[in-house]
Structure 1
Amino acid sequence: MSFLGLDIGTSGVKAVLIDGEGKALGEANARLSLSRPRPGFSEQNPFDWWQAVLKAVDNLKDKHPQAVAAIKGIGLSGQMHGATLLDADNQVIRPAILWNDVRSAAECAEMEKALPSLRQIAGNIAMPGFTAPKILWVKKHEPENYDRIAKVLLPKDYVRFLLTGTYVSDMSDAAGTLWLDVEYRGWSDDLLAVTGLTTEHMPSLVEGTEPSGHLKDELCRRWGIAQAPVVAGGGGDNAASACGIGAVEPGTGFVSLGTSGVLFVSNEKFSPNTEGAVHAFCHAIPRTWHQMGVFLSATDSLNWLSKLVGQEAAALTKAVAADYAGPGEEIFLPYLSGERTPHNNADARGAFVGLSHLSDAKTMARAVMEGVAYAVRDCQRVLTDAGTGIDTLIAVGGGSKSDLWLEMIATNLGMAIEVPEDGDFGGAFGAARLGLIAATGADPKAICTKPAISKTIEPRADLKSAHDDQYRRYRALYGAIEEARAQ
């Protein structure tokens, strides 16, 4: 038996095959492009997701035909919040509006005004990244498209529809729409009504470990699969990644340094903190929730600087690590795409402060790395305010390849960070585990275990005071800059 995980990311689709013991058998990738038609807009063509899925699985079939033929379960992971609009003929109405699109800030305020109990029901602040305010934006600015809406699907759930013919989502991904009663794990009529929709416009809901349908016959023939595999509910990208990294027990968490940054912790109960812009969502496994602090530009900040100065990001981090002795004069605010946690400000912007004639690419890179570490610390602060403690923390994402970056974060959080052995334990791997569980009925916590750890990054006690001082300055800058921008 083998199991397939598909992760519908922003920059690409990843397919991972595992065996019945959870061992990786193979993987394939297909790139995706992003459209930014106006400042603050971020869109993709849903048909491109499907073409990328076909390309990735076709690639796996070419390299591992016997393992693909033996697939018994498929799991799905994907970028959250994307609004994929289908008409009554199941045709895509317009490009999908993505998680990092901030056009609907005004609609967020309208939602909260229209339903004062919104935060209590949803467990989250209305943010432009979420799905519901995007629909209000479409209603206001594209009424002809709004009137055609028959179904609203999240990115991975549109792929599910093409895989199975079913309209289904899972609890963790649905929690990011702002239409879910997160504590009770069901669609909220009151939240839907604010956007003029009903449950008829929504997919049905299953837990991430439960079956949602079976692979269509024509796809089974295409990939040489004799018996149609079950397709699991799956999960939003971070919840699926948590299943891949073993962060399913209360208090277990991970820090992700990808395009965006995430501090994730699993909870045994629903624990919102809307004042701190904490994301409080359902987990991909039953009777479990999770919290996240999310900021939108982690490695994206370093990639931005890399393009600006004409040096590779890896070379910049290596130069900083060569003689790092703590914070310098330069401070960087990583709000290049606005911000979620803790400010919930789509209009926030990045900034360098403390530049001098001595500032260069290396010192600016150091400030960027530190700024991202302070953004993670901000996330920890508001999670602590919600009464949440993190017992163990594992690093994932491309930025975790830098020991110095992880050391900065460990020092600021005051806790060690574990680094897994080489391997991909992200969304696609977690999705494959969910596919295994749905197909076999295995205990989720017996399957979603922690990987072997290659090393542990400890905090630098000798730099703690310097980082504390710099973090205080970092926190003060946001308010001062926003006040100046408002004048």
Structure 2
Amino acid sequence: MFLGIDLGTSGVKVVLIDDTQRIIQTGHASLTVQNPHPGWSEQDPAAWIEATRCAIRDLDSPLDKVAGIGLSGQMHGAVCLDQSDNVLRPAILWNDGRAADEAAALDADPAFRAITGNIVFAGFTAPKLVWMRKHEPDLFARTRRVLLPKDYLRLWLTGEAISDMSDASGTAWFDPAKRDWSDQLLAATGMERTMMPVLAEGSELAGCLRPETAAELGLPKGIPIAGGAGDNAATAIGAGITSAGSGLISLGTSGVIFAATDRFLPAPETAVHAFCHALPGRWHQMGVMLSAAACLDWWAGITGASPAELLSRLDPAPGRPGPIMFWPYLSGERTPLNNPLQRAGFTGMSTGSDRAQMTRAVLEGVTLALAENMEALRAGGGGADSLIAMGGGARSDLWLAMLAQATGISIMRPAGAETGAGFGAARLGLMAATGAGESALTTPEISDVFEPDPELVPAWSESLQRLRQQRA
């Protein structure tokens, strides 16, 4: 058996698979996010460890036969450690916008786009450390190591500081073409290579489970642990998306359109991310919006109803976009706006507007933003002919039908869509433990296909243009 551990923003998910890559069982433990100031987003790394313990305890199956572990996690977070690997401050997360000015200053240096192939977004790791150097100089001076979230879990599991290429690509310190840290970019932010973790490919061995942690978790000691992946690359591995032309759409806390490539295709002018994939010799392009299913959760909290209850009151047909428009920018936006200060809101409401219309507007707003992401990927030389839908939001037939109309391509839902990143992590754990190659990553069985309706697609395109005009 093989165990995947996915450290998300809202919780830790674990997925247990057998030798045939069949999911045996899943476990989950929730996490909360702290927002000490508007636009800030933090978590205590100790909560990640406790949530991982709880999620593994949530599994009923005996774990004595687990032969490999893979890790996936939320990207870009900064976990700052002192010389004894003690955590110095709460981790600054991917959707934190405090370092907007620092990111803009780094992005103004041509070397960053030239080497990383990406805009320096405020949520990336490097500007967070520049912000610390300016606003928390004592903590910055004590920082001896910076880890990404899933790699802090690895430090607890193995005692080793190791990261993988896909996750490292989102730091703004990494050269995706060379698949290595850039000493030039590290120096430009006051950092050194010694402060960075060792690098491994996602499917390679990257540490073994140490005896004390194994005993605590009820796992065999010495289990090999894979390099793993950032959450979106891991989700793609779970969906078997490894070759050029294949892609996925993720409806999690954030929203992502991911397209695999067989070469590095930077397109920073589109605000599309160009990162390494979790396999050697593979890269990907990615359009990212910061709030996707999080928008529905937010609206559910405002209305006092659960997301499922809100969705149950809607007409299941995608239809044409309604008169109310929702801007899904609760935490700013990345692709294609690159604006951490952009904010959400409703327009087009009247005295006749009701809760169901506003719920539908939330879904439509997220859908149109993801369609805009797809346009950005195409402009950058990437894209896909169809998309596999993953994440919690993929359970909604209505939402996937809307996405088919807005993007103009088929949206496919596999069985077990909500376990995507954890399943991908488990697959990487299998590869690291057994030496299995890329051919082992089959595409999951498709349970539902949502096709675009030629009579509806133009209406969704017009609505996207209206969103752009209002935003301007």
TM-score tier (shorter)? over 0.9
Structure 2 CA distance for aligned equivalents of residues 252 and 363 of structure 1: 34
Superposition pairs of residues 250-399 of structure 1, within 5 angstroms: 250-322=244-316, 325-399=319-393
Structure 2 CA distance for aligned equivalents of residues 44 and 228 of structure 1: 29
Equivalent pair of 1:13/1:30 in contact (CA under 8 Å): yes
1:80 aligned residue (68, 75, 78):
75
1:64 aligned residue (61, 65, 68):
61
Shift of 1:223: 4.1
Equivalent in the alignment of 1:6: 5
The DSSP-based 3-state class of the residue aligned with 1:71 is coil
Structure 2 CA distance for aligned equivalents of residues 360 and 198 of structure 1: 55
Structure 1: where are the runs of 5+ without partners?
480-487
1:464 maps to 2:457: yes
Equivalent pair of 1:334/1:368 in contact (CA under 8 Å): yes
Offset from partner CA, 1:254-303 (integer Å, 9 cap, x none): 11111111111111011111111101110011100011111011111122
1:474 maps to 2:467: yes
Structure 2 CA distance for aligned equivalents of residues 224 and 412 of structure 1: 47
Structure 1 CA distance for aligned equivalents of residues 58 and 412 of structure 2: 33
Equivalent pair of 1:72/1:228 in contact (CA under 8 Å): no
Structure 1 residues 179 and 465: CA distance shift in structure 2, 3 A: same
Superposition pairs of residues 174-185 of structure 1, within 5 angstroms: 174-185=168-179
Shift of 1:227: 5.0
Q: Which moved more, 1:391-400 or 1:431-440?
A: 391-400
Superposition pairs of residues 45-444 of structure 1, within 5 angstroms: 45-60=44-59, 63-65=60-62, 68-113=63-108, 115-322=109-316, 325-422=319-416, 424-443=418-437
The DSSP-based 3-state class of the residue aligned with 2:315 is helix
Equivalent in the alignment of 1:23: 22
Structure 2: where are the runs of 5+ without partners?
none
Structure 1 residues 309 and 318: CA distance shift in structure 2, 3 A: same
Equivalent pair of 2:111/2:185 in contact (CA under 8 Å): no
Equivalent in the alignment of 1:485: none
Structure 2 CA distance for aligned equivalents of residues 230 and 23 of structure 1: 20
Structure 1 CA distance for aligned equivalents of residues 458 and 217 of structure 2: 57
Structure 1 residues 10 and 147: CA distance shift in structure 2, 3 A: same
What letter is aligned with 2:78?
A
The DSSP-based 3-state class of the residue aligned with 1:7 is strand
Relative to the length of structure 2, the TM-score reads 0.97
Structure 1 residues 217 and 455: CA distance shift in structure 2, 3 A: same
Structure 1 CA distance for aligned equivalents of residues 70 and 76 of structure 2: 18
Equivalent pair of 1:9/1:79 in contact (CA under 8 Å): yes
Structure 2 CA distance for aligned equivalents of residues 324 and 265 of structure 1: 25
The DSSP-based 3-state class of the residue aligned with 2:248 is strand
The DSSP-based 3-state class of the residue aligned with 1:311 is coil
What letter is aligned with 1:450?
T
Structure 1 CA distance for aligned equivalents of residues 127 and 368 of structure 2: 29
Structure 1 CA distance for aligned equivalents of residues 231 and 48 of structure 2: 15
Structure 1 residues 404 and 70: CA distance shift in structure 2, 3 A: same
Structure 2 CA distance for aligned equivalents of residues 451 and 473 of structure 1: 37
What letter is aligned with 1:318?
S
Shift of 1:315: 2.7
Shift of 1:324: 5.3
Equivalent pair of 1:69/1:223 in contact (CA under 8 Å): no
Structure 2 CA distance for aligned equivalents of residues 422 and 273 of structure 1: 33
1:41 maps to 2:36: no
State how many pairs are aligned.
472
Structure 1 residues 56 and 398: CA distance shift in structure 2, 3 A: closer
Equivalent pair of 2:210/2:221 in contact (CA under 8 Å): no
Structure 2 CA distance for aligned equivalents of residues 226 and 421 of structure 1: 30
Shift of 1:253: 0.8
Structure 1 residues 455 and 59: CA distance shift in structure 2, 3 A: closer
Structure 1 residues 366 and 298: CA distance shift in structure 2, 3 A: same
Offset from partner CA, 1:305-361 (integer Å, 9 cap, x none): 222233332232232225653122211111111000000000001121211111111
Shift of 1:423: 5.6
Q: Which moved more, 1:78-87 or 1:49-58?
A: 49-58
Structure 1 CA distance for aligned equivalents of residues 76 and 160 of structure 2: 19
Structure 1 CA distance for aligned equivalents of residues 22 and 206 of structure 2: 24
Over aligned residue pairs, what C-alpha RMSD do you find?
A: 1.4
Percent identity, please: 49
Offset from partner CA, 1:205-263 (integer Å, 9 cap, x none): 00000001111012233344445111110000000011111111211111111111111
Structure 1 residues 422 and 116: CA distance shift in structure 2, 3 A: closer
Equivalent pair of 2:15/2:426 in contact (CA under 8 Å): yes
The DSSP-based 3-state class of the residue aligned with 2:322 is coil
Structure 2 CA distance for aligned equivalents of residues 226 and 143 of structure 1: 42
Shift of 1:184: 1.0
Offset from partner CA, 1:58-77 (integer Å, 9 cap, x none): 343xx222xx1111111000
Structure 1 CA distance for aligned equivalents of residues 439 and 418 of structure 2: 19
